[in-house]
Homo-oligomer: A and B are copies of this chain.
Amino acid sequence: MEKLSIVKISGNIIEDENVLNDFLSLFSKIEGKKILVHGGGKKATQMASKLEIESTMINGRRITNAETLEVITMVYGGLVNKNIVAKLQALRTNAIGLSGADGNSILSEKRPIKEIDFGFVGDVKVVDNDAIEVLITNLFTPVFCAITHDGKGQLLNTNSDTITSQIAIAMSKKYQTSIYYCFELKGVLSDFNNKDSVIKHIDSGRYSSLLSEGIILDGMIPKLENCFYALKNGVNEVFMGNTNILTKENDHFTKITL
């Protein structure tokens, strides 16, 4: 099967113009078919603050009310997405910016209200791999922002790590898929106080022991759960680290396999 790279960039890359430019230059050099996924990082929070929209937090988690969704749609879907697309075009990568509503590519479902009403937050139901396939076989490079829709006219704020893994899973029926999660660290660390303590390879067995030893904690747990979910559903390999994982010039990153 042909290879397909799905790359997700975290907020810290989007927030710094120079870091973003360096990343996009590396991304444009990836050979073969590729997809980019991004959120909006602090830019959305800054815009909400300028517009005096209050961020409602429940148990430390942000609630997406109607006004916050508007800001996210403006910042992720407009400002960040269109600027990334224009920059990629300058690098001769024929990018096409998408939300999950575009081409009905990612259908989601508003998260049901249990203890917490998260507001306009969507959980992915269906990724239309045929729609995405049409674009990539015609040599477009899809650039997804972290917004989906419910098919009934409602946009929904959606976790960009989940969007990435769900796209990769859907596309793994047609391609040999690799996910690259680019974030601020060199990889998964064995000692959070030592930024160089990168764990170079994690498989299911190693993951279990890292968990039981308490080495993997907090926000890293859902990220890794998401990676193993993708691997169990057809994704070939997952890389986590800074933008260096795109070149693999050294082994200072984490490779995750089943």
A contact residues vs B (CB 8 Å cutoff): 47, 50-51, 70, 73-79, 81-83, 85-87, 89-90, 94-99, 101-104, 134, 138, 140, 147, 149, 151-155
Contacts and interface: CB of A to CB of B under 8 A. Distances in A.
Contacts of A82: 73, 77-78, 99, 101-102, 147, 155
Nearest to A134: B138
A126 to B, nearest CB: 13
* Majority SS at the chain A contact face: helix
| Residue among A73, A151, A155 with the highest chain B CB neighbour number at 10 A | A73
Nearest to A138: B134
A87 to B, nearest CB: 5
A41 to B, nearest CB: 15
A96 B96 CA distance: 10
Contacts of A85: 99, 101-102, 149
Contacts of A134: 138
7 contacts: A74-B78, A77-B82, A82-B102, A86-B101, A94-B103, A95-B103, A97-B99
Contacts of A140: 103
A70 B77 contact: no
| Those 4 A-B pairs whose CB atoms lie nearest each other, nearest first | A78-B78, A74-B74, A90-B153, A77-B78
